[in-house]
Amino acid sequence: MPPAYTAQQKAAITQFISFTNLDRNAAIRVLKTHNWDSQTAVNSYYSGGSGVTGSTAAKTTLNKVFDKYREDATGEPDGVGIEGTMKYLTDIDVDLEGLESFAVSEIVQAPAMGEMTREGFVNGWQERNCESIDKQKNYIKTLKRELPGNRELFERVYKYSFTIARAANSKQAPLEQAIAFWELLFSSPLSAIQWKSASTPWLDWWKEFLETSFKKSINKDMWNETLKFAKLTLEDENLTFWTETSSWPSVIDDFVEWVKNEKRGGAKEEVMDEEY
């Protein structure tokens, strides 16, 4: 009788097979050696399983691919700007306005929107054993199938997206940019976390609140805490997980009060009466 696997282990098996096309038994053997961490197992599989990234030949090939997209080979030999990045994304069949473009930014560790570095590009694709444009296109196809059902992968893309949302030479993202990014991250068909429910348009409320009541730049802590808050609201629409003593950023505290008073008919007069 085959051994019983937990739901988490079964999900890891499915994820690993979808990325590698290995048979189930081979997938289980690899996952067991990596403590059932599917992402680590996938990366190890594509790098040869030794923890050492791919061959010198693969690295050479990736450098040549990178060189094709440089706009200024003399002045910026190790960088690709907006024009080259857009051409590259088009070549690997990435929707420039789609969530998969954020996923590619995470893979190549893009330093800013529409930019790539040689180190990030070569290391990111070498770890995934994708040294050619065709292999990268196939990897993205698989990733797009995987994203909607893989919260771990989505959350990694979400958190990295703050890097490219930031203003130049700043640790903060402009509010307008952050809202545009949230719109894509939380409503794309590829998103594993759709921030809305049948009775509560959370994302729409969040944007409305920020545009009318916040009007400030977004820091990394607020960015990451928004993801945590979004997940909890989808599990508990009544917000019972939130208390006045919780360690949420003040903007989320204010948003909760705004939702209760402005969207759910909270009685402001009762709050005033308590002050007398």
Spatial CA neighbour of 233 closest among 215, 248, 217, 245: 248
Long-range contacts of 221-226 (CB under 8 A, 24+ apart): 221/249, 222/249, 222/251, 222/252, 223/159, 223/162, 223/165, 223/173, 223/178, 224/159, 224/162, 225/249, 225/252, 226/182, 226/252
Q: Provide the pLDDT for residue 7.
A: 85
Residues 234 and 167 in one domain: yes
Q: Provide the pLDDT for residue 50.
A: 39
pTM above 0.75?
yes
- Listed residues 131, 149, 167: the one ending a domain: 149
Largest alpha-carbon pair distance within the chain?
Answer: 77
Q: Does any domain span residue 2?
A: no
pLDDT in tens, 145-199: 999 999 999 999 999 999 999 988 899 999 999 999 999 999 999 999 999 999 9
Q: Identify the domain containing residue 216 by its residue range.
A: 151-274
In the structure encoding, which two tokens stand for residue 18, read together?
Answer: 């979808």
Q: Provide the pLDDT for residue 272.
A: 43
Residues 182 and 80 in one domain: no
Q: Does any domain span residue 1?
A: no
Residues 164 and 131 in one domain: no
Question: Residue 180 maps to which CATH number?
Answer: 1.10.238.200
Rounded Cα gap, residues 141 and 32, in angstroms: 26
Q: Count how many domains the chain has.
A: 3
Residues 167 and 252 in one domain: yes
Residues of the chain below pLDDT 50: 1-2, 50-54, 268-276
Q: Provide the pLDDT for residue 193.
A: 97
In the structure encoding, which two tokens stand for residue 152, read together?
Answer: 């771990």
For helices 99-107 and 133-146, give the axis angle rounded to 10 degrees.
120
Question: Residue 90 maps to which CATH number?
Answer: 1.10.238.10
Residues 169 and 270 in one domain: yes
Q: Provide the pLDDT for residue 47.
A: 61
Residues 157 and 266 in one domain: yes
Q: Provide the pLDDT for residue 191.
A: 97
Residues 240 and 181 in one domain: yes
Residues 144 and 158 in one domain: no
